[in-house]
Amino acid sequence: MKTAEIAQRFLDFFEKKNHTIVPSASLVTDDPALLFTVAGMVPFIPYLSGVVPPPYPRAADVQKCIRTNDIEEVGKTPRHGTFFQMLGNWSFGDYFKEDAIRFAWELLTAPEADGGLAFDPKDLWVTVYEEDDEAHELWRTLTPLPEERIQRLGKDTNYWSTGLPGPAGPCSEIFFDRGPAYGVDGGPATDDDRYVEIWNLVFMQYEITNVRSKYDFDIVGELPAKNIDTGMGLERIAFIKQGVDNMYETDQVRPVLDLAASLAGKAYGAESHEDDVRLRIVADHVRSSLMLLADGVTPSNEGRGYILRRIMRRAIRSMRLLGVEGATFPDLFAASRDAMKESYPEVEADYARLSAYAIAEEQTFLRTLAAGSAILDQSVVEAKNGGGTTLSGSEAFLLHDTYGFPIDLTLEIAEEAGLTVDRGAFDQLMLEQRTRAKADARARKGAIADQSAYREFRALGETVFTGYTELQTESTVLGILVQGQGTDRASEGQIAEIITAETALYAESGGQVADKGLIVGPGYELEVLDVQRPVPGLISHTVEVTTGEVSMGAPATTVVDALNRHSAQQAHTATHLVHAAIRDTLGKTATQTGSLNRAGYMRFDFSWGSALSPETRTEIEDIANNAVRDNLEVTTRVMSLDEAKAAGAMALFGEKYGDTVRMVDIGGPWSRELCGGTHVARSSEIGLVNLVGEQSVGASNRRVEALVGLDAFRDLAAERAIVSQLSTSLKTPREQLTTRISELAASLKAAEKKIAAFEAQALTGRLPQLVESAVAVGTVRVVAQSLGEGASADDVRSLALQVRDRLGIDPAVVALATVSAGRATVVVVTNDAARERGLAAGALAKGAAGVLGGGGGGRPDVAQGGGTDAAALPQALDGIVADVRAATA
């Protein structure tokens, strides 16, 4: 029985038990405490906790889940997977223990011909909470299970709570006995892999308080509305029904495993245990990555993107350990797509986008592995030869910072070699490095060469940066690279990297973007597109050859765009002022976590846990502009790091400092920071700081944005023009504009309410005509009409319910449609007699929505669908009539 068929049988069964079928929520949850949907209950938490009234009394779903807390167990056990699907049936104050147990037993043991899963009762065991006499008695009386196969267990296994005050209750778990070949006898109480938990029934019946631990709390009393929360692992049911040993061998996962084995020239199950584990890791992680990409997650260095990147890179490394050096994702992801598309058609429809991310990530990481693995392997050899058991934190940091080698991968490789990593030292070094900015810079470099290409140029010495005092510097071309490869010349129209001995052009760092400018020499001119430091001490210019041809050894003059540089200096110095103003206003704990400075614009990220009030923003802006007005001197001193720290200079987030540093003072100690950027000579040169935005950029981090100098003035001038236009149009003095606009908004809202009331009244007036339009389709009366344009979905739903009520107790289906802003909406309602004949509103609405090029669904009695093809509305309504006719034939 295929996995998709098992899922459909589950949904069909519970739909017949009057459950609303709910589509899977996204893997990306709205819960701020979670990165992903980690369990089937997550989307229902608001209903289970009573925070939000449930829209239906009972529901069933197949929920996509991602869980990575036990990622190290993937491939080693039969049931651990990062992506899994949870079958769930839910009751919100409707049925309770008796029906939950009856439903579960019926579905599991009913014959396949009757829609069941046909488990043999002799293979099933049940556990209940040791004090739950009611559940024990129900299992004993509702099922043929003998007493010895109903085991009582404690709170640690058979009691559910969140670990917080709120709902809780006992649970009952159903296990499948795989037989004596898989372990010892004795049932689930033995905690042996022989007994696979397939279904957990949670009886949410108590309210708890004074929670001391997940299993130590006080019960206040029973909940006013008792809930049922169940979860049955789809992958676990699949591997049992398909007669295989684990979830990796099921029909949705095995194709990727087999392809990985073929690419590696391995025989799964016939060679080493380590190879089998690696193949299972690949199969699981490729599928998990595909599903995360389908739900909008993309690889990155933080949050959900980091988890995805880690999963993908574990798959790549596992293929490397299996002996495959080249790219495999184009094949593996296609195989996973084909295995999953029956259950999730979106992975096929959106595959071009999904595969592009996957393939790009693999290409990037293969380059990272090639550069970092050789260094790490050498470090491992040296450590072991020297009798050591630990890799230094500085070595791990070098791999991470210079080569982008993930720390978790370093930890895994070290562990495989019998070594540990000095993680404490690594973490300390990470505090001195802004890894996020490093990653972004690498991503923007495009054609920047592999670092090995710079070795010979760096061996000639450091590039001398003269831009602190000069805007033009004469030098010599030391190196030329085109598409990452060294060459002796670059011709007109080509994009190249140019290395010179000296440069006046500032390389992007410390939040300040690279200079704009030119490189000129005899017979050629180069437009500078970017300036970076690809390796420490070396500056590389990405250029377009606009005139002539540049060759190795040619004279070269670097020329800075003076106006752009000055505007960038204004922004960078303004950033220091804003930082000082924030610390003056909020306190010393508000420290910088990031910044960006470019001509006319600055943004500043800082540690703070709440939004700034308008008054606080104004105060920060005033302090910064007062510093501009005071014409403070900006001085720069070069000194040792110890001297700078002794002077009170701030070592900022993301900067990497050597023994010698530049300390920038503005107004003496008022603003004193270590900074390698360029600045104006006095604060008055900034002109104006205009804070234009403030927002959250993550947990406990805020961001302010400002326009600086002429850009700030232009923005204020634009606002002044808007205010003037409003004042003229509304014939209202400027100081009274806010009051006048509020009055107009209130008047407009009142008018909209009146219009809506008139429209609703007009729709209600059509009630008799709609009732008279009912036609007999077999024994069912059907109304299928379009109401034209403009009606709201709520009004259409209300009218459809009124029409249904007027049609009486005989079987009736009402489908009313409207069009708004080019989108068609269809509302379908059915009465009890129609539903008894198998006519569910949700199915009818879904079918109509498909004709309209959209989606839909809902409860059996009321449902809604729609789409963008409004012209197909007549066909959609005709389709509902045809579906009724077919169902009643």
Q: Which residues are annotated as a binding site for Zn(2+)?
A: 572, 576, 675, 679
From the number of C-beta atoms within 10 Å of its C-beta (0-12, 13-18, 19+), residue 381 rates as exposed
233 strand-pairing partners: 86
- Distance between CA atoms of 316 and 877, rounded to whole angstroms? 51
Binding residues: 572, 576, 675, 679
Task: For tokens 């036990």, name the residue.
Answer: 70
Question: How many CB atoms are located within 10 Å of the residue 163 CB?
Answer: 13
Let me know the angle formed at the C-alpha of 608 by 607 and 613, rounded to the nearest 5 degrees: 140
Please report, for residues 72, 134, 150, 170, 171, the alpha-carbon distance to residue 141 in angstroms, rounded to integers and kept in the order given: 42, 11, 12, 19, 18
- Distance between CA atoms of 275 and 449, rounded to whole angstroms? 35
From the number of C-beta atoms within 10 Å of its C-beta (0-12, 13-18, 19+), residue 319 rates as buried
CB 497 within 8 A of CB 541: yes
Region of residue 771 (left: phi > 0; alpha: psi -120 to 50; beta: else): alpha
Return all residues near 112 (Cβ < 8 A) that are at least 6 apart: 1, 118
End-to-end Cα distance, the chain: 31
Task: For tokens 């085109």, name the residue.
Answer: 482
- Distance between CA atoms of 5 and 236, rounded to whole angstroms? 14
Please report the DSSP string for 797-853 in residue order: HHHHHHHHHHT-SS-EEEEEEEEETTEEEEEEEE-HHHHHTT--HHHHHHHHHHHTT
- Distance between CA atoms of 224 and 227, rounded to whole angstroms? 10
Here the tokens at position 373 are: 């693995």
- Distance between CA atoms of 770 and 757, rounded to whole angstroms? 20
Please report the DSSP string for 598-614 in residue order: ETTEEEEEEE-SSPPPH
Here the tokens at position 608 are: 């703070």
CB 486 within 8 A of CB 453: yes
- Distance between CA atoms of 878 and 851, rounded to whole angstroms? 10
Q: Are strands 464-465 and 502-503 parallel, antiparallel or unpaired?
A: parallel
Q: What kind and span of H or E run contains 660?
A: strand 660-666
- Distance between CA atoms of 538 and 559, rounded to whole angstroms? 18
Among 760, 581, 573, which Cα is nearest to 677's?
Answer: 573
Let me know the angle formed at the C-alpha of 369 by 367 and 372, rounded to the nearest 5 degrees: 110
DSSP state, residue 404: -
Please report, for residues 281, 332, 336, 355, the alpha-carbon distance to residue 290 in angstroms, rounded to integers and kept in the order given: 14, 10, 8, 8
Largest CA distance in the chain: 98
Residue type, 373: S
- Distance between CA atoms of 63 and 76, rounded to whole angstroms? 24
Residue type, 458: R
Task: For tokens 């789409």, name the residue.
Answer: 867
b/e 616-646 (16+ beta carbons within 10 angstroms → b)? ebebbbebbbebbeeebebeeeebebeebbe
Collapsed DSSP state (helix, strand, coil) of residue 478:
strand
Q: What is the Cα Rg of the chain in Å? A: 34
- Distance between CA atoms of 704 and 848, rounded to whole angstroms? 48
